[in-house]
């Protein structure tokens, strides 16, 4: 076919699709995402950040740090002044912890659902509304068997709806279910919990005082308290130890992270592709990547 006929055909197609498709012949690199911080430096180093316009799955067993990850991500978006939405499938979000984590509650639309059907419909509505920096869907407490029964086309629909938008769709589950619809899948696993021992001074003091001030709690005396047996020196006297020598404080716990799937091209890979003049590569699996981060109780 002559070049002029091709050009005519191309312009005709462009004219027909005007208003519906912005540039039908432009090459779109579906793996080139804008990445934003997760709020956890270790995770940013591992996965590059959370991709906009894509679905991210964070999966893991209960107590594996999924909610801590969620709060960090929400706080990170709040710091950038973005409005976020949280679809809470089992109504387990704790505003007090979120506030302590730095989540701007006034910029967080919290949808408290009773079951997964409501959660999926609410997610669909929120994505269609647009304008949210992040739509987080917390299915952590929904039995894995129930989430597994969600048809794949539901995840596909979410992926298509969020595509080409600045919204981050973050799913929290026990198992990864969205298959290839998710651009980033990270599995979390709980590590060792860290406790302060009684008599541990500086950190224990701060933790105890913070906990008291934030939650209005006060340690109570017990008959196990043995005052005066061996009084510590005044400078090193622990607040917790002085009130309650056997007290322990939860300092946090370690979280092991494992990248199950990632379509995200790291910036350096894209630069190489452009310099070489080659087509951008397809998904770069990073399943071997692992990392660890720790949570802090404040």
5 Cβ neighbours under 8 A, 6+ residues apart: none
Q: How many other CB atoms are found less than 10 A from the CB of residue 244?
A: 18
- The DSSP output letter for 215 is H
Q: In terms of CB distance, is 32 or 83 closer to other proteins?
A: 83
Nearest distance in Å: CB 88, other proteins = 9
CB of 25 to other proteins, least distance (A): 27
C-beta closer to other proteins: residue 82 or 159: 82
Task: In angstroms, give the least distance from the CB of 91 to other proteins.
Answer: 5
Nearer to other proteins, 118 or 273 (CB): 118
How far is the C-alpha of 24 from the C-alpha of 14, rounded, in Å?
Answer: 7
SS3 242: helix
Query: In the complex with other proteins, which residue's Cβ is closer, 118 or 242?
Result: 118
Least gap, CB of 242 to other proteins (angstroms): 16
Cα gap 114→145, rounded to integer Å? 17
Least Cβ distance, residue 100 to other proteins (angstroms): 6
Q: Which is nearer to other proteins, 31 or 174 (CB)?
A: 174
**Angle at CA 184, nearest 5°, toward 103 and 51?**
55
The two structure tokens encoding residue 235: 């400078």
DSSP state of 230: S
CA neighbor of 51 nearest in space, from 42, 38, 70, 41: 38
CA-based R_g, the chain, Å: 24
Structure tokens at 127: 């994505």
Nearest residue to 37 via CA among 84, 79, 66, 76 = 76
Residue with tokens 């406790």: 195
Return d(Cα 254, Cα 297) in angstroms, integer.
12
The distance of closest approach from Cβ of residue 187 to other proteins in the complex, given in angstroms and rounded to an integer, is 12
If the CB atoms of residues 256 and 270 are measured against other proteins, the closer one turns out to be 256
What 3-state DSSP class applies to 171?
A: strand
Minimum Å gap between C-beta 95 and other proteins is 4
The residue among 7 and 292 lying less far from other proteins, judged by its C-beta, is 292
| CA 233 and chain centroid, separation | 44
**Nearest CB to other proteins, comparing residues 31 and 295:** 295
* Nearest-approach distance from CB 275 to other proteins, in angstroms: 30
């Amino acid at each position: 076919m002559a070049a002029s006929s091709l050009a005519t055909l191309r312009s005709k197609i462009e004219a027909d699709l005007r208003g519906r498709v912005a540039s039908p012949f432009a090459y779109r690199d579906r793996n080139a995402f804008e990445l934003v911080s997760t709020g956890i430096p270790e995770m940013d180093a591992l996965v590059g950040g959370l991709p906009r316009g894509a679905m991210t799955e964070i999966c893991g067993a209960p107590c594996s740090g999924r909610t801590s990850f969620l709060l960090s991500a929400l706080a990170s978006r709040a710091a950038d002044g973005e409005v976020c939405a949280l679809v809470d499938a089992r109504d387990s979000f704790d505003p007090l912890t979120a506030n302590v984590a730095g989540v701007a509650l006034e910029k967080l639309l919290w949808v408290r659902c009773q079951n997964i059907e409501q959660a999926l419909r609410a997610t669909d509505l929120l994505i269609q509304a647009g304008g949210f920096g992040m739509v987080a869907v917390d299915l952590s407490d929904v039995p894995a068997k129930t989430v597994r029964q969600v048809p794949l086309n539901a995840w596909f629909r979410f992926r298509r709806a969020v595509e080409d938008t600045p919204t981050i769709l973050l799913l929290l589950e026990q198992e990864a279910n969205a298959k290839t619809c998710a651009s980033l899948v990270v599995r979390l696993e709980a590590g060792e919990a860290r406790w302060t021992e009684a008599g541990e001074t500086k950190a224990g003091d701060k933790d105890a005082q913070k906990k008291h001030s934030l939650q209005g709690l006060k340690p109570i005396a017990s008959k196990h308290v043995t005052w005066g047996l061996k009084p510590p020196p005044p400078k090193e006297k622990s607040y917790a130890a002085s009130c309650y020598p056997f007290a322990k404080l939860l300092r946090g716990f370690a979280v092991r992270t494992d990248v199950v799937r990632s379509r995200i091209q790291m910036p350096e890979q894209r630069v190489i592709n452009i310099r070489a003049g080659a087509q951008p590569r397809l998904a770069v699996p990073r399943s071997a990547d692992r990392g660890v981060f720790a949570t802090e109780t404040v």
